Structure formats: structure tokens, C-alpha cells
């Protein structure tokens, strides 16, 4: 959830007549009052570096009806003018949260399950169907992100460099890239449990999932070189359907580059440190390929085991996340 408080007009009006404009060294004096670096402020004003961000901010603030300041905007959609009591602001935050997280309505105080899908196949996806068994037993709130329907952009140069650049020096591209990372990281860190559906594509993960992972893997935000990840120990279920089999003894044993990679990134104590359980419904091509008919019983047994395991884990995770 993103909360913006528009207060600059009020500050200007407190210091200057409403009709006046900031001239000469007044902006620098005002920057000093606000605790901003004077040289950086002068440079930013001379280069008009933040012009497009300010114009975009003003445009967005007008959508929920901002006409003066202070003006509080939540998620770019809910706006309240003027000074507000703590209770009024809390009501606004609750309304915005329930609107974007419908399943969080209700009496439960559980932290939410972050459910991330990445199969391109929508409802036909086996991974998603197994996830449904988990969800049917999950009693708490859910935040769902479908990376196939709403892909996260690939990490750009602006996104990488924004991480090592002071926000006051961000270009508009870096500021935009950083805002996306912040939103995804906040969503990730706010969860108490995780459900990832990541089918096997070309022995590895779908690029849609990798793009999300690259956005949220930020040192000192989601993992650290010196300590545990803030999400360490939280339960996670990784569901990865695959057309073939990579189980011990199968001809393709050892060629699964998805599960070992994701179990490491998601679960290693130096990385996200989640407590990962993996379920791999396999041989999903068997019902569709006549050459694989003899493998149908193995596929069906794998499906039954996957659904049963998912249901059992939902109950176990719910107890831990409560």
C-alpha cells in the first residue's frame, strides 16, 4: 500500500503570500528548513531534474480530487483533504487495504498468504490446480499475483543502478524502477506464508517468475550478507508441474534446473531463507501423448499425492502463520 501526503503547498503558503512564487534564494532557504541538502537542492532546481516526477505527481493527485494541501492519497485512488484525525486516516487505510485485498475482510488477524502464479496456461495449469487444493484449505487472507496475466517488467539498468544511488539523485527512470521494486518487496515482506506455482519450462522456470524474483532480490532489503533475511523461517510451498519426470531413476534424473535453483534462492539461509516445501506433479504430458500412455498410472498417483500434500500443508502453514 502506498500513502502520499501532499503538503508542499501548505508549506509554501505558510511562508509566502498565496499569490507569490518562490524566487531568488527562497527555495534554498525553504529546503534548509525542511532539512534538505542545500547543494543538491540547488543542483536539482537548476537542472529541473525532478520536473517530470512533480508533474506526474500533481497529475495523480488531481485524480482523487486534490485541490490544496495537506492532501493524503492512498494507493493513488483514495484522497482526503486537510488535517485528519488518526482514526479517520486509519479508516481510510483499512478501506483501501480491503479493496485491494478482498480476502482479508473478516475477523481473522492472520498475516496473509502471498500466492504467486506464473504458468501461461491459466485455469488449465496443473500447478494452479494443485494450488487450488491448498487455497481451498487456507483459512486466512490472501494476496494473489498472477505473473502471466500481469507480468512484472524485467529488471532494467535503471532498476539495478537505483539500488546504489541516493533517492535524491534518481533519474525519473530510476525513481520509477525503484517504486516498482519497493511495491513488490513490501508485498513480499508483508506475507506470513507463500504459495508459488512455477511450472517447468525448458528445464527451468518461466521467465515471468524469474523477472519477479530479480525485482525482489535486493540486498539489505529481502536478504543480507551479514544476517538473516527478514522473511527467514516463513513457510513456503513451491508447486512445479512438469511434463516429464526428473525423479530418481528416471531417464531425465539430474536435468531439473528449476527445483534445485528455486529451493536455493527461496530457502538458503544466506538468501531468502524461507522454509520451503516442494511438490512436483509430474508426467503431466501423459494424458495428452499416446506414447506416454503406459505412464498414466504414475502420473495419476503423482497428481493425487500432490493435491493431498497441498491440502495438508495449508492446514500446517495456517497454524504457523496465525
Give the interface with ligand FMN as residue ranges (CB under 6 A). 119, 121, 125-128, 199-203, 241-244, 284
DSSP reduced 3-state for 278: strand
Q: What is the largest CA-CA distance in the chain?
A: 84
Residue 102 is classified by DSSP as G
Using alpha carbons, select from 281, 265, 282 the residue that is nearest to residue 273: 265
Question: Could you give the CA distance from residue 7 to residue 65 in angstroms, rounded to a whole number?
Answer: 15
Q: Do 85 and 162 meet the contact criterion of CB atoms below 8 Å apart?
A: no
Sheet bearing 193-197, strands edge to edge? 142-146, 113-117, 193-197, 235-239, 275-279
Residue 153 is classified by DSSP as P
Cite the DSSP H helix spans in 226-270: 259-267
Least separation in angstroms between residue 297's CB and ligand FMN is 17
Q: Do 198 and 240 meet the contact criterion of CB atoms below 8 Å apart?
A: yes
And the C-alpha cell for 188?
513480499
Question: Could you give the CA distance from residue 101 to residue 302 in angstroms, rounded to a whole number?
Answer: 33
Nearer to ligand FMN, 2 or 154 (CB): 154
And the C-alpha cell for 20?
507569490
And the C-alpha cell for 284?
503431466
Amino acid at each position: 500500500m502506498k500513502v502520499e501526503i501532499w503538503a508542499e503547498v501548505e508549506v509554501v503558503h505558510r511562508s509566502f503570500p498565496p499569490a507569490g512564487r518562490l524566487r531568488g534564494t527562497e527555495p534554498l532557504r525553504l529546503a534548509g528548513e525542511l532539512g534538505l541538502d542545500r547543494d543538491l537542492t540547488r543542483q536539482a532546481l537548476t537542472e529541473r531534474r525532478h520536473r517530470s516526477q512533480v508533474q506526474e505527481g500533481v497529475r495523480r493527485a488531481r485524480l482523487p480530487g486534490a485541490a490544496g494541501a495537506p492532501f493524503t492519497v492512498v494507493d493513488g485512488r483514495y484522497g482526503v483533504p486537510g488535517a485528519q484525525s488518526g482514526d479517520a486516516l486509519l479508516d481510510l487505510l483499512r478501506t483501501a487495504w480491503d479493496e485491494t485485498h478482498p480476502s482479508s475482510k473478516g475477523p481473522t488477524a492472520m498475516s496473509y498468504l502471498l500466492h504467486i502464479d506464473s504458468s501461461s496456461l491459466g485455469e488449465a495449469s496443473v500447478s494452479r490446480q494443485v494450488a487450488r487444493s491448498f487455497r481451498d484449505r487456507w483459512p486466512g487472507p490472501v494476496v494473489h499475483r498472477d505473473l502471466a496475466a500481469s507480468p512484472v517488467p524485467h529488471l532494467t539498468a535503471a532498476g539495478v543502478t537505483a539500488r546504489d544511488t541516493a533517492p535524491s539523485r534518481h533519474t525519473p527512470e530510476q525513481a520509477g524502477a525503484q517504486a516498482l521494486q519497493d511495491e513488490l518487496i513490501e508485498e513480499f515482506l508483508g506475507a506470513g506464508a507463500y504459495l508459488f506455482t512455477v511450472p517447468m519450462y525448458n528445464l527451468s522456470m518461466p521467465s515471468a517468475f524469474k523477472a519477479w524474483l530479480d525485482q525482489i532480490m535486493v540486498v539489505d532489503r529481502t536478504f543480507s550478507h551479514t544476517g538473516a533475511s527478514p522473511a527467514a523461517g516463513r513457510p513456503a510451498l513451491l508447486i512445479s508441474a512438469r511434463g516429464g519426470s526428473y525423479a530418481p531413476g528416471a531417464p531425465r534424473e539430474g536435468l531439473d534446473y528449476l527445483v534445485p535453483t528455486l529451493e536455493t534462492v527461496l530457502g538458503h539461509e544466506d538468501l531468502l531463507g524461507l522454509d520451503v516445501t516442494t511438490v512436483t506433479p509430474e508426467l503431466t504430458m501423459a494424458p495428452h501423448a499416446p506414447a506416454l500412455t503406459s505412464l498414466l498410472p504414475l502420473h495419476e498417483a503423482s497428481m493425487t499425492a500432490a493435491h493431498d500434500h497441498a491440502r495438508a500443508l495449508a492446514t500446517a502453514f495456517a497454524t504457523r502463520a496465525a
